[in-house]
Amino acid sequence: TSLVEARDVVLSFGSTPALRGAELSVAQGEIVAVTGPSGSGKSTLLHCLAGILVPDEGEIHYDGRRIDALRETERSALRRDRFGFVFQFGQLVPELTAEENVALPLLLARGRRSTALREARAWFERLGLAGLEGRRSGELSGGQAQRVALARALVAGPRVLFADEPTGALDSLTGEQVMDLLVGSAREQGTTVVLVTHEPRVAAFADREVIVRDGRVTPLSVGRAAS
């Protein structure tokens, strides 16, 4: 049974078709990489699965429930309570320190500042960020900032982590370090991951890879998967 699923999803931006019958089913605890050419519909599919965009046709299911038909307030509560997000750029709030950025989801969900900051700090050790708690985003390297963003995405214990080109702004070594931490933390916590990337080396961290072409999802060819 799947935790997150897109069924025959169609979505256009005006006259531009982005998804034309996309199907994807992700099991609890699975780490799936969504790859494919630029403009093929990868981000749009991720945004649909995460309840950010609503398809024109088709259905999105999360944990046995159809979510595309929910009201925006309900979808936003679901995103806050169950999902974590990592994007390519510009994710940290520049006015806040690194630890305040990480604590943000806890502050939004439950409130208590002292508890939120304590839980946030635990992630600094775990992700090799000890000592950087008080820095602002302008004082962090790209890899450090992305690890802080990863901590923020995971601090509230999401059931699903949605990552859209999380290494896109990093050099390949730094990108692989971030992926190691992302996949390691997800496995430790049993977090399901949907990862959009156009980099084969990043996709290789996943349990399974699918390719989006012209708004449709195809499994990776058996030949390559077996080699």
Q: Could you list the residues that contact ligand ADP (CB under 6 A)?
A: 13, 16, 18, 36, 38-44, 88, 164-165
Between 44 and 91, whose beta carbon lies closer to ligand ADP? 44
Cα 89 from Cα 79, distance rounded (Å): 19
The nearest distance, CB 163 to ligand ADP, in angstroms, is 11
Q: How would you class 103 by CB atoms within 10 Å of its CB: exposed for 0-12, middle for 13-18, buried for 19 or more?
A: buried
Q: Which is nearer to ligand ADP, 58 or 157 (CB)?
A: 58
In the complex, minimum distance from the CB of residue 143 to ligand ADP, in angstroms, rounded to a whole number:
19
Which 3 state secondary structure label does DSSP give 137? helix
**Which residues partner with 60 through β-bridges?**
6
Closest distance of CB 221 from ligand ADP, Å: 19
- Answer left, alpha or beta for residue 52, where phi above 0 means left and psi between -120 and 50 means alpha: alpha
Minimum Å gap between C-beta 34 and ligand ADP is: 8
- Is the Cβ of residue 14 or residue 131 nearer to ligand ADP in the bound state? 14
Distance CA 201, CA 127 (A): 21
Nearer to ligand ADP, 86 or 102 (CB): 86
